[in-house]
Amino acid sequence: MSEKILELQSVDAGYNGQRVISEANLEVYDHDFIGMIGPNGGGKTTLLKVILGVLKPFRGKLIYHQIYDADHVKRIGYLPQFSMIDRKFPISALEVVMSGLMPHHGLTRKYSREDKQRARQMMKRMGISHLEDKVVGELSGGQMQRVFLGRAIIGSPRLLILDEPNTFVDNQFEGELYEHLRELNQEMAIILVTHDIGTISSYVKTIACVNQQVFYHHSNVITQEQLSAYNCPIQLIAHGDVPHTVLKRHD
Amino acid sequence: MEIFQYQFFINALWAALFTSITCGIIGTYIVSNRIVFLSGGITHSSFGGIGVGYYMGVNPIWGAAVFSVLSALGIEFFSKKGQLRHDSVIGIWWSFGMAIGIIFIYLTPGYAPNLMTYLFGSILTVSQGDLLFMGLLTGVIVVFFLLFFRMILFISFDESYARVFGMPVTLIKSLLISLVALTIVVNIKVVGIILLISLLTVPQSIANQFTQVFSRMMFYSVGISLLGVVAGLLFSYNQDVPSGASIIFALIVLFGLTKAGFYLRDKLHPHR
Ligand SMILES: Nc1ncnc2c1ncn2[C@@H]1O[C@H](COP(=O)(O)OP(=O)(O)OP(=O)(O)O)[C@@H](O)[C@H]1O
Ligand SMILES: [Mg+2]
């Protein structure tokens, strides 16, 4: 039996009193792999901010069941859609990856040799070992995305949240990324925002459609008709031979 | 040299050391976070405190301390709560502080002694009392950065990521901006309000040519300021020109030289 790690209960959320998300309910269990889709401006990123606990809902509740560990460390990994970073900031790629361990340390602790070792391994896994000492702002978009992914994963989170991780990265790494995620999914729940549900349908287990409301779809197969019913007007790229069942079954 | 026998000169050297440490560290934070304009605003608005200090007959530096910390926190507060642009708020505080200072100095009967010292600095007249404050602040800043260095770097680089993990971002940032304000206050005596911003930016810009690592930038900046301040001090003593201006002049010359050096190196060995 999977354990519930967090839930949203009839959440309204938005900015400056303007509602972007209304009446959202969502439950996340360990080993979940949720593909989150929806039109631009539909509120996906906003919903993630609520889940992360950085945007307070106007109404409703966010409940963490298994997010904090015994040491009160918040075991979430997050890859933002846009990282608002200053490209001139004097920090190396390795330091950024290592900073993913920051929440595990007290306010004042320094990084240990072991931390550094872990960060090196993570960079290797991301295929960017040669960039360790490079200033992060001097990396290409895809390289930077890998650094931020490394930062998100290094702390072995229980829930990994990825907001459009495929922006900037090349096809090869995109493929590798999804394989990584499949592996990581053994140990952690994953929420993945994407506009390309076709490509990742074989990786995700369930689908959440976000367009002001949140519709949860208990399968990784969804049809255009179902999408319309969910008020989620996105175009699916056809896969498989049945024209209107857009996504092939995974198993 | 015979000047090393004079107490005022020994004091000046101590002041140079404290200035270099405080401005080297805090300036690196300022430059990396691109809050140079904010720091300029805090510096100038502290003039309001100097004016009020004269008017009320208390040490103007105390007035400056109150004004600069209040304006540092006030700028952050108003730009967040008032939904105003950050740099516009800075511009308002900047001129408001100056205006208050001018009004109160005019209202103060008689002559305002040492006014020029506050505006243009005078490292050769730094007193033992001033040194005590500078030394204290140096200690506080060094300890603060030793303890929280990782956290400061983390928050400065990606504040919103730090917030996800419930790190005390606002608290640390408020403490840092207060340290910026206090650094400005204790260094007003050395180079003055008008020239202070260069102590917080020029050494760092020189250091940044040699390294892109935050911690090294701090150390190099301290060394570079010490070089610039002592060179400026000697020049000022020899030529009998104001010390604040000679210090800045020395630093800018150093900046020009290193910049030219790097430019030539890249020209001569483009594929080093
Ligand atoms: N910081 C903000 N302040 C005010 N309004 C915002 C802010 N961020 C987003 N919004 C508004 O909230 C709505 C939802 O935005 P959100 O970023 O959640 O959409 P999204 O589903 O992630 O879109 P995309 O697919 O383009 O990433 C949009 O209408 C947007 O204008
Ligand atoms: Mg988004």
Q: What is the DSSP string of B54-121?
A: HHHTS-HHHHHHHHHHHHHHHHHHHHHHT---HHHHHHHHHHHHHHHHHHHHHHSSS--TTHHHHHH-
Confidence at residue A243, expressed as pLDDT on a 0 to 100 scale: 40
Window 76-95 of B: residues touching A by CB (8 A cutoff) are none
For residue B189, count other CB atoms closer than 10 A to its CB.
25
Query: With contact defined as beta carbons under 8 Å apart, do A208 and A214 qualify?
Result: yes
Q: Residue-wise over B174-186: b if at least 16 C-beta within 10 A, else e?
A: eebbebbbbbbbb
In chain B, what are the domains?
A: 2-268 (1.10.3470.10)
Tell me the β-bridge partners of B7: none
Give pLDDT tens digits for A149-185: 999 999 999 999 999 988 878 888 888 888 889 999 9
3-state secondary structure of B152: helix
3-state secondary structure of A9: strand
Closest Cα of chain A to B204: distance in Å?
A: 12
pLDDT in tens, chain B (272 residues): 677 778 888 999 999 999 999 999 999 999 999 999 999 999 999 999 999 999 999 999 999 999 999 999 999 888 888 788 889 999 999 999 999 999 999 999 887 778 888 999 989 889 999 999 999 999 999 999 999 999 999 999 999 999 999 889 999 999 999 999 999 999 998 899 999 999 999 999 999 999 999 999 999 999 999 999 999 999 998 999 999 999 999 999 999 999 999 999 988 887 65
pLDDT in tens, chain A (251 residues): 689 999 999 999 999 999 999 999 999 999 999 999 999 999 999 999 999 999 999 999 999 998 998 888 899 999 998 877 888 999 999 999 999 998 888 767 788 899 999 999 999 998 999 999 999 999 988 899 999 999 999 999 999 999 998 887 888 888 888 888 999 999 999 999 998 877 778 889 999 999 999 999 888 888 777 888 787 777 665 444 434 444 444 44
Give residue B186's identity as a one-letter amino acid code.
Answer: V
Chain B residue with minimum CA distance to A73: B165
Q: Is the CB of A211 under 6 A from ligand 1?
A: no
Give pLDDT tens digits for B115-171: 888 999 989 889 999 999 999 999 999 999 999 999 999 999 999 999 999 889 999
Q: Is the CB of A214 under 6 A from ligand 1?
A: no
B33, B83, B150: best mutation site toward chain A, by most A Cβ within 10 Å? Answer: B150
Work out whether the CA dihedral B15, B17, B19, B21 comes out positive or negative.
Answer: negative
Q: Is the CB of A20 under 6 A from ligand 1?
A: yes
Confidence at residue B199, expressed as pLDDT on a 0 to 100 scale: 95
Q: Is the CB of A80 under 6 A from ligand 1?
A: no
Contacts for A174 with CB less than 8 Å, ≥ 6 apart: A166, A199
Q: In angstroms, what is the span from residue A45 Cα to ligand 1's centroid?
A: 7
Query: With contact defined as beta carbons under 8 Å apart, do A93 and A147 qualify?
Result: yes
Q: What is d(CA A132, CA B116) in angstroms, rounded to the nearest whole number?
A: 50
A18, A54, A136, A148: best mutation site toward chain B, by most B Cβ within 10 Å? Answer: A54
Q: What is d(CA A206, CA B151) in angstroms, rounded to the nearest whole number?
A: 37
Query: With contact defined as beta carbons under 8 Å apart, do B120 and B244 qualify?
Result: yes
Pairing of strands A59-64, A4-15: antiparallel
Q: What is d(CA B105, CA B116) in angstroms, rounded to the nearest whole number?
A: 12
Query: With contact defined as beta carbons under 8 Å apart, do A67 and A8 qualify?
Result: no
Q: In angstroms, what is the span from residue A44 Cα to ligand 2's centroid?
A: 5
- Give the closest of A76, A85, A108 to B157, CB-based: A85
Q: What is d(CA B118, CA B266) in angstroms, rounded to the nearest whole number?
A: 42
Residue B34 gets the label, from left (phi > 0), alpha (psi -120 to 50) or beta, of: left
- Give the closest of A53, A54, A102 to B154, CB-based: A102
> ipTM, 2 decimals?
0.85
Tell me the β-bridge partners of B32: none
Question: Cβ A103–B167 below 8 Å, yes or no?
Answer: yes
Confidence at residue A249, expressed as pLDDT on a 0 to 100 scale: 43
Residues of chain A with CATH 3.40.50.300: 4-67+158-246
Confidence at residue A244, expressed as pLDDT on a 0 to 100 scale: 41
Q: What is d(CA B178, CA A175) in angstroms, rounded to the nearest whole number?
A: 48
Residues of B in contact with A54 (CB under 8 A): 160, 163-164
Q: In angstroms, what is the span from residue A14 Cα to ligand 1's centroid?
A: 9
- Quick check: A116 contacting B, CB < 8 Å? no
Q: What is the largest CA-CA distance in chain B?
A: 66
CATH architecture of A4-67+158-246: 3-Layer(aba) Sandwich (3.40)
Given the CA of residue A39, which atom of ligand 1 is nearest to it? 25
Question: What letter does residue B6 receive in the DSSP assignment?
Answer: S
Query: With contact defined as beta carbons under 8 Å apart, do A119 and A154 qualify?
Result: yes
3-state secondary structure of A201: coil
3-state secondary structure of A78: strand
Q: What is d(CA B49, CA B54) in angstroms, rounded to the nearest whole number?
A: 9
Q: In angstroms, what is the span from residue A82 Cα to ligand 2's centroid?
A: 8
Q: What is d(CA A8, CA B227) in angstroms, rounded to the nearest whole number?
A: 59
Q: Is the CB of A38 under 6 A from ligand 1?
A: yes
Contacts for A197 with CB less than 8 Å, ≥ 6 apart: A35, A37, A204, A207, A222, A234, A236, A247
B83, B149, B212, B215: best mutation site toward chain A, by most A Cβ within 10 Å? Answer: B212
Closest Cα of chain B to A144: distance in Å?
A: 13
Query: With contact defined as beta carbons under 8 Å apart, do B150 and A102 qualify?
Result: yes
Give pLDDT tens digits for A55-90: 999 999 999 998 998 888 899 999 998 877 888 999
- Give the closest of B151, B164, B214 to A54, CB-based: B164
Q: What is d(CA B96, CA B94) in angstroms, rounded to the nearest whole number?
A: 6
Question: What letter does residue A92 receive in the DSSP assignment?
Answer: B
Query: With contact defined as beta carbons under 8 Å apart, do A42 and A212 qualify?
Result: yes
Q: What is d(CA B58, CA A129) in angstroms, rounded to the nearest whole number?
A: 60
The residue whose two tokens read 């939904």 is: B83
Confidence at residue B272, expressed as pLDDT on a 0 to 100 scale: 57
Query: With contact defined as beta carbons under 8 Å apart, do B21 and B14 qualify?
Result: no
Interface size, chain A vs chain B, as Cβ–Cβ contacts under 8 Å: 70
Given the CA of residue A195, which atom of ligand 1 is nearest to it? 25
Question: Cβ A96–B157 below 8 Å, yes or no?
Answer: yes
Q: Which runs of consecutive H residues, i.e. helices, occur in chain A? A: 44-52, 93-98, 113-125, 141-153, 171-184, 197-200, 224-229
Confidence at residue A245, expressed as pLDDT on a 0 to 100 scale: 40
Question: Cβ B158–A107 below 8 Å, yes or no?
Answer: no
pTM of the shown model? 0.88
Confidence at residue A237, expressed as pLDDT on a 0 to 100 scale: 55
Contacts for A19 with CB less than 8 Å, ≥ 6 apart: A12, A13, A58, A212
Q: What is d(CA B126, CA B233) in angstroms, rounded to the nearest whole number?
A: 12
Q: What is d(CA B31, CA A87) in angstroms, rounded to the nearest whole number?
A: 13
- Give the closest of B148, B164, B217 to A90, CB-based: B217
Chain A residue with minimum CA distance to B217: A90
Provide long-range contacts, Cβ within 8 A and 24+ apart, for B140-148. B140/B179, B141/B21, B141/B22, B141/B25, B141/B26, B141/B179, B141/B183, B142/B21, B142/B25, B144/B175, B144/B179, B145/B25, B145/B218, B147/A107, B147/A108, B148/A107, B148/A108, B148/B172
